[in-house]
Homo-oligomer: A and B are copies of this chain.
C-alpha cells in the first residue's frame, strides 16, 4: 500500500490511447472494485474518468467510491457537468453528500439543478443535518417491506429491490406513514423458507436498537459496536424511519476518531491527507502553526522562572531540579487525561460522574505524589555538597519531595478534570491530553516549586 500502484499505469495508458474497449472493460470488472481503484491511483482525473466509462454504471460508481476523497473531488471538478450530474445520481446517497461537502458551493449549485428531482431533494435533505450527527452519516437507501407480505412475497419483492440497494441483510418493516414497525433479517427470511405463507408481522423483531437523527456519530458507533449490528436504523422523534448507517461507515468513524485523538495528543492539527503525498508547504504550515503556538505558550515558563531569579541567584542548585519538577506535572497530567479521555470515549464515564472522578483522582494523586516524592527525597539527599553550597542536603531533599508530591497531585487533578470540563462545553476532550495543557502544568509547576523552596530555604 505504501508504494503507489504504478505497475499497470503504462498498460492502462496504452489501452486508453488505443481505445481498447475489450481490455479496459476486463480491467474494470476482473478485480474487487477497491483493488481496481488502487491500480488507478497514478492516473490523472481525466484518465481515470476515461477508464471508468468502460464499466457498467453500478461498477463505475463502486470503483469511484474507493478513490481518495481528493481524487473524487478533482474528477467532479474536471468532468462535464451534465455527465457528472447523471453519474452523481447513481452514487450511494451518503457518499455523494460527503463528496459534495468538499466541493466549492458554486459547483454544487451548478450541479444540483441538473440532477433528477428525487436525488436533488435527497441531497438537500442530507446536507441539512449538522456534521458528525447520525443524520449526516446515514444513507437513505434501505430495504423496506410492508408487514402484510408473506415470506414468499417478500423474497420475490427483495429479488427485485436487491440490485439497487447497498445492503439487504436487514429488511425494515414500515407502515404506510413510514413509521418503523420492525425488522426481519435476511437470515430469518431464509430460515423461514420452508414456511412460505408466514406473514412478516409474525416474523419480525419489534424491540429494535435505533439511532436518533441528531445523535452524535461517536455515540452511534458505540451502539453499533456494543450490539454487534450490521446497520442501525435512523429515526426522528416520531419514529419515522429516515435512513440507515452501515457497519463500514461505523468503522470509518472509529478510525477517524482514533486518528483525531492521536493528533490532538501529539499536537498536530488533523492532516486529512496522506502523509507522504501531502504538499510540503501544507504540512509545514500546519505543523509550524501548532509548534509556534506551543512555543509562544511555553515562553511563559521563562516569565515564571525570571520572577524567581533572585532565589536561583542565591541557591543555584534549585535551578537544576526545574526540568524534573516540570516533567512530573506533565507526565502525571497526561496520564490522568489519557485515562479519562479514553474512559469517556468508551462510554465508561460521563460528565455527570465528575464528582466520583474527582474523589478518585484526589486519592490517586495523593498516593502517586507520595510515591514520587519518596523517590525525589532520596535522590535529592544524594546531591553532592559542593553543588549545594550553603544549603543543607536534608533541607533540599525535603523541599524537592514536597514540591514533587504537590505538583504530581496538581497534574493529576488538572489532567482528570479538564477532559470532563471540555466535554461539558462541547470541546473534544482529547484536547486535554494536548501539549497546551502540559504547558499550563509546566508554568504552574514552576510557581509551586519555587514557592515551596522560598518558604523553606530563603
Contact = CB atoms under 8 A, between A and B. Distances in A.
A341 B162 contact: no
A35 B223 CA distance: 11
Nearest to A261: B262
Interface of A: 1-2, 30-32, 34-35, 66, 155-156, 158-159, 162-163, 165, 167-169, 186-188, 190-194, 207-209, 224-230, 247-248, 250-252, 254-255, 257-259, 261-263, 265-268, 271, 274-277, 280, 283-284, 287-288, 290-292, 294-296, 298-299, 301-302, 305-306, 309, 312-313, 316-317, 319-324, 326-328, 330-332, 334-335, 337-343, 346-350, 352-353, 356-357, 360, 363-364, 367-368, 371-372, 375-376, 379, 387, 404, 408, 433, 435, 438-439, 442, 446
Given A268-B335, A335-B287, A34 B227 contact: yes
Given A169-B169, A299-B324, A259 B305 contact: no
A267 B313 contact: no
Given A2-B348, A320-B305, A265 B295 contact: no
B327 A442 contact: yes
Nearest to A338: B266
A288 B368 contact: yes
Given A2-B349, A2-B350, A368-B287, A446 B186 contact: no
A334 B247 contact: no
A368 B446 CA distance: 27
A433 B264 CA distance: 12
Nearest to A37: B226
Contacts of A283: 364
A291 B332 contact: yes
A353 to B, nearest CB: 5
A446 B292 CA distance: 20
Contacts of A338: 262-263, 265-268
B319 A263 contact: no
A277 B353 CA distance: 13
Given A275-B340, A294-B327, 6 more contacts: A2-B353, A156-B193, A258-B262, A295-B328, A302-B324, A322-B322
Given A251-B251, A276-B353, A298 B327 contact: yes
Contacts of A342: 259, 262-263, 275
A291 B298 CA distance: 23
B376 A331 contact: no
A347 B255 CA distance: 12
A326 B327 CA distance: 10
Given A225-B248, A252-B225, A372-B291, A298 B275 contact: no
